[in-house]
Amino acid sequence: MKAIRLHETGGPEKFVVEDIPKPAAAPGEIVVRVRFAALNHRDVFISQGLYPGIALPRTLGSDGAGEVAALGANVAGPPVGTPVVIDPTIGWGNDPEVWSAGATILGMPRDGTFAQYVAVPAENVHAKPAHLTYEAAAAMPLAGLTAYRATFTRGKLKSGESVLITGIGGGVQTFVLLYAKHMGARIAVTSGSDDKLARARALGADVAVNYATSPNWQKEVRSAFGSVDLAIDSAGGDAFAKALGLVRPGGRVVTYGGTSGDATIRMFPLFWNHLSVYGTSMGSPWDFRAMLALFESAGLQPVVDRVCSMDEVVEAARRMNQANQFGKIVLAID
């Protein structure tokens, strides 16, 4: 079968398309014929060697949608040919509050979705929402799940609240925008790109501020928008500290990343205003099911930046590395 493989680290240039054997379905597993996959920052970080526990060669890829191709022993269904989408969190465990120490993410250490076939635990395979194409379904899993847990399970967003989304454009934050809009939230977004701010406005953001041209962007958000009920951030550093300063008394801040490094925070507003800060990564099996139910009941559509062929993976990963995308970069697995 065709697979996008990584034999050595060194950046997106190191992805190569090659032929490797099809995986077999071990007991308790399902093999999925992947039709579409999607890139995540994680794939780029791994290609750059910026991830713990890298063991190569490996087929990366956490997001995939396709059809059931084979069932392992002790797996009763779904039948071969069923359209499915894959939950990328492997072995979350039994605690809804936190993943187990042994939890991993599809695509490292286990071979992932950048291949015509992928073997995954049967419990990670879910029926594809009928209203989504395979392309759209493949754009959903990792980012949609992370955003679901950040917005609802941890962030506890309620109808009509106000939300600050820092650094709009990456996969997860566009899902947060989608969910927040669905909940009737008032939405403020930030980005370093006017194009992305315009895209976010088109998707329903009420206030959009460029942090590159406005270093004191928090003042613009405050004057245009007031304080917010919930802020969701994955930058850390200064952005996280500013987000903390923008939430109302009793408000919440959710963080799922720290690409800008450590954050220096003032203690007084945190304790005096009874703020809550929630860290989150990926999502539980219950989060994944709830996300699928939300997509189906609300008819939501993931934001897809573009669809590339397997042969275009190096260019696609470079685009993600440069943060030029808005929404998910999808790979057609032909």
Residue with tokens 């049967």: 122
Binding track, positions 64-103, relative to a second copy; x by CB under 8 A:
-------------------------------x-xxx-x--
Q: How far apart are CB 234 and a second copy at their closest, in Å?
A: 8
Interface size with a second copy, residues (CB under 8 A): 37
Nearer to a second copy, 237 or 285 (CB): 237
Q: Tell me: does residue 276 bind a second copy (CB under 8 A).
A: yes
Q: How far apart are CB 228 and a second copy at their closest, in Å?
A: 14
Return d(Cα 274, Cα 292) in angstroms, integer: 33
Return d(Cα 151, Cα 183) in angstroms, integer: 10
Q: Tell me: does residue 280 bind a second copy (CB under 8 A).
A: yes
The HSE-up count of residue 148 (CA atoms within 13 Å, CB side) is 23
Q: Tell me: does residue 271 bind a second copy (CB under 8 A).
A: yes
Helix axes of 141-148 and 285-298: crossing angle, nearest 10 degrees: 100
Nearer to a second copy, 117 or 148 (CB): 148
Q: How far apart are CB 264 and a second copy at their closest, in Å?
A: 5
Residues in the chain: 334
Return d(Cα 238, Cα 25) in angstroms, integer: 46
Nearer to a second copy, 91 or 269 (CB): 269
Adjacency order of strands within the sheet including 15-19: 15-19, 2-6, 58-59
Binder of a second copy out of 77, 81, 184, 250 (CB under 8 A): 250
Return d(Cα 4, Cα 12) in angstroms, integer: 11
Segment (H or E) for 34:
strand 29-38
Return d(Cα 83, Cα 64) in angstroms, integer: 11
Nearer to a second copy, 29 or 43 (CB): 43
Binder of a second copy out of 236, 245, 302, 327 (CB under 8 A): 236
Q: Tell me: does residue 290 bind a second copy (CB under 8 A).
A: no
Binder of a second copy out of 11, 204, 258, 285 (CB under 8 A): 258
Nearer to a second copy, 22 or 248 (CB): 248
Q: How far is CA 233 from CA 2, 28, 101, 169, in A?
A: 37, 37, 24, 12
Using CB atoms within 10 Å of the CB of residue 10, give its burial: 0 to 12 exposed, 13 to 18 middle, 19+ buried. Answer: exposed
Q: Cα-atom radius of gyration of the chain, to the nearest Å? A: 20
Binder of a second copy out of 10, 49, 81, 261 (CB under 8 A): 261
Q: Tell me: does residue 262 bind a second copy (CB under 8 A).
A: yes
Binder of a second copy out of 147, 205, 275, 316 (CB under 8 A): 275
Return d(Cα 29, Cα 119) in angstroms, integer: 6
Taking contact as CB under 8 A, which single stretch among the options 79-87, 173-181, 192-200, 261-269 is the one that binds a second copy?
A: 261-269
Q: Where in 171-210 is the site for a second copy (CB under 8 A)?
A: none
Per CB under 8 A, residues contacting a second copy are: 95, 97-99, 101, 154, 234, 236-237, 240, 249-250, 255-258, 261-281
